[in-house]
Amino acid sequence: MIRHPLARRSTLAALALGLLSAGASVAADGPYVTTVATATWQDNITDAPSGDGVLGAFTLGSTTDVSWLASLGFSTLLTYGVESTLEICPRFSGLDSFSWGPRISWRHKLGVGPYAPFVTVGLEGSAVAFSDHERSRIEGVFTAGGGQRLNDAVQLLVDARAGTYNANDLVYGGNYVGANATLNWDVSGTWRIKLLGGWRSGDGVSNYAAQFVGGAWTPIDPGILNSPGWWHYVNTYNQPFTAFRLGIRTLSSGIGVCPAIGRHTSLALQFVRLDSKGYDRYADDVASASIVHRF
């Protein structure tokens, strides 16, 4: 049912080599450093269907991106660098993680001026270490996107992603494709309103509350056992759960405000609702507050 991701990974590696060799011969600007500190509340961090097992939790995260720019031509830029993220979940320490990985993206502007559209193609790799060792994984993502400014206040950004990840435990591995659209509306020099929409299809994990029956942990709702794929008992959430790797389709929609605090810093407040359909339907509301600083 689930394809082994090796074939896809070799394609990603070839693309990465191609992009890197394109940038190797040109002088680069940088490094440019951007840091983001985020506090996030998820009301269904377990991705559990309504009923048993819906648990909420805060996570605190800090991301640092260090990147370089190289010009490949008239309106073509290569950006490459490294991003690292530390995430702490005070309620469920098994979700604490540290990720590190290189990224490279090619960007071309179709014309001159702020209203010319641009397109991007990129690759992202990351190694993620979790406190719950079985979740630790390596991941590769191919990205493609673009943007168009409609006027001096409104910009539309779109991006598509295809990713593959291999975890220590098969339940936490998989492949996915997704697409996102963001409409940024700068209502004043300070205030930005964001509308967000997204779609993702691929592997994901949904957690079902478990009980100990007949000498083994099984989901309280036995219907899920009819779904194909890997599953096992997890104790990440301080109470018994069974984690199921499922084919999941998620639609997301959200709104945000992003006031600028000077030229280099912004605050971002965002609310996104994720509606997913795996074996069952479930929702996860994600509210976050971030401070972004570009040095």
Partner 1 sequence: MRRLIAILTLACLCRSAPAAGIVRVVTRDPAGTPVADAVASLTLVGSPEALTVPKEPVAIVQRDQEFSPYVTAVVVGTRVVFPNRDTVQHHVYSVSAAKKFEIPLYIGDAAETIVFDRPGVVTLGCNIHDWMVAYVVVLSTPHFAKTDSGGSADLTSLPPGRYRLEVWHPRLSAKVDRELTVAEHDDTTQVISVTLRPDRRIRRAPDAGGADYR
Alpha carbon distance, N-terminus to C-terminus of the chain: 46
- Position 197 contacts partner 1 (CB under 8 A): no
| Residues ≥6 apart with Cβ < 8 Å to 18 | none
Distance of closest approach, residue 152 Cβ to partner 1, in angstroms: 5
Beta carbon of residue 71, minimum distance to partner 1 (angstroms, whole number): 4
Binding letters toward partner 1, positions 93-132, x by CB under 8 A: --------------x-x--xxx-x-x-x------------
Q: Where on the phi/psi map is residue 110: left (φ > 0), alpha (ψ -120 to 50), or beta?
A: beta
Q: Please identify which residue in 2, 9, 15, 32 interacts with partner 1, judged by CB under 8 A.
A: 32
β-pairing, 216-219 vs 28-42, is: unpaired
- Is 133 an interacting residue with respect to partner 1 (CB under 8 A)? no
Q: Segment near partner 1 (CB under 8 A), from 85-93, 148-156, 168-176, 279-287?
A: 148-156
Determine the size of the site formed for partner 1 (CB under 8 A).
50
In the bound state with partner 1, the residue whose beta carbon lies nearer, of 94 and 146, is: 146
Distance of CA 25 to the CA centre of its chain: 31
- Binding to partner 1 (CB under 8 A) within 264-283 occurs at 264-266, 268, 270
Nearer to partner 1, 216 or 263 (CB): 263
| Bridge partners for 154 per DSSP | 185
DSSP per-residue string spanning 220-242: SSGGGGGS-S-EEEE-TTSS-EE
77 lines the binding site for partner 1 (CB under 8 A): yes
CB 64, min distance to partner 1, A = 13
Residues 132, 168: contact at Cβ < 8 Å? no
> Phi-psi region for residue 90, left (φ > 0), alpha (ψ -120 to 50) or beta?
alpha
CB of 247 to partner 1, least distance (A): 26
CB of 255 to partner 1, least distance (A): 13
Site for partner 1 in 41-70 (CB under 8 A): 69
Judged by CB under 8 A, which of 94, 146, 197, 229 binds partner 1? 146
Q: Is 79 in the site for partner 1 (CB under 8 A)?
A: yes
- Of 122, 119, 24, give the one whose Cα is nearest residue 72: 24
By the rule CB under 8 A, 292 interacts with partner 1: yes
Find out whether the peptide bond into 219 is cis, omega within 30 degrees of 0. no
Residue 158, both tokens: 């779109």
75 contributes a contact to partner 1 by CB under 8 A = yes
**E-only strand ranges, the chain:** 28-42, 57-73, 76-88, 97-109, 118-130, 137-149, 154-167, 174-186, 192-213, 216-219, 231-234, 241-257, 265-277, 281-294
81 contributes a contact to partner 1 by CB under 8 A: no
Binding site for partner 1 (CB under 8 A): 29-30, 32, 34, 36, 38, 69, 71, 74-75, 77, 79, 107, 109, 112-114, 116, 118, 120, 145-147, 149, 152-153, 157, 159, 182, 184, 186, 188-189, 192, 194, 256, 258, 260-266, 268, 270, 290, 292-294
